[in-house]
Amino acid sequence: MKMWIKMSIEKKRQSMKKVISASRRSDLISFFPDWLASAVGKERVFVYGPSRHTYSVDLRPGEVHTFVLWSKNFSNLINDRFRLRRFLEKYDQIYVHFTITGLGGTPIEKGVPPPGKAIAQLDPLIRIAGTPERISLRFDPILYWKDGDKKRTNLRFFDELAPVLEQKGIKSVRFSFAQWYSKAKKRAEKKGFHYIDPPKEKKLEDAEFLAHTARSHNLDLYACSQAFLTEHPHIQSSACIDGPFLQRIHPRQESGSTRKDKSQRAECRCSESVDIGSYTQFCPHSCLYCYANPLM
């Protein structure tokens, strides 16, 4: 009996529609809209994965629960370049992760639109997604650095961003403090960027500011893969791809996977998804802190 139940659960899981992530690995919307539009148009794509193997992904609408889009610049989607927006309209649900840090157009995020231009994309994105519930604003990462004798941070930009999100009905905000991986450290040193990695106590202090601001503007604040931040009672652990939530806001509340995505970091709470990006798709945003492969 136990074996039968186990087989039945596994069969049900395999028959579930999948969540497609496009993409954590590179900004497909900004720099590879032709490739993405072609993949969605053909309803199948071959992906060069992180472990250097190629895999095929079925993108037929009947097989896809939600298409999750990640970008720092959605202008190609909004302007329907390569018919990308029209191709994506055939899917039941589009969920958007939009990163705005306040650093766009600076040497830290050289190829990213400045904040004002990014914020102007929110209204058309809400129309595309169908509801502000399907928009997650990523104020991520928070950085600290030295500029001569002065210490700088983008933390206080959240004061400007929060009331805009409240006015537009966007509630979900995800954040983290920059994690300086070895290749990002080398990149920063090469560019003469003097980053600061504050102690845990400083990060918790600044998380209090974020939490207070979020509560003042009716925003839900989630910490991405930094569990120590959830010591604060008003900061939740983030599942950036949240299976139960995506099911709840789905037009027909269709079930999807709620299992943890084992391919992500230990502290990541994301549900299973299939990422169709590749680390071979170099990103011209050229963010100094990037963990992937920016085109510098």
Q: Residue 72 sits in a domain of what CATH number?
A: 3.80.30
pLDDT in tens, 59-94: 999 999 999 999 999 999 999 999 999 999 999 999
Helix H or strand E encompassing 12: helix 2-15
> How much of the chain exceeds pLDDT 70, in percent?
94
Whether 292 is in a domain gets the answer no
pLDDT in tens, 103-144: 999 999 999 999 999 999 999 999 999 999 999 999 999 999
> How much of the chain exceeds pLDDT 90, in percent?
86
pLDDT for 220 beyond 90: yes
Output the pTM of the full model: 0.93
Whether 286 is in a domain gets the answer no
- 91: domain range? 20-275
Whether 143 is in a domain gets the answer yes
Whether 2 is in a domain gets the answer no
Whether 295 is in a domain gets the answer no
Whether 186 is in a domain gets the answer yes
Tokens of 258: 């709620």
Whether 98 is in a domain gets the answer yes
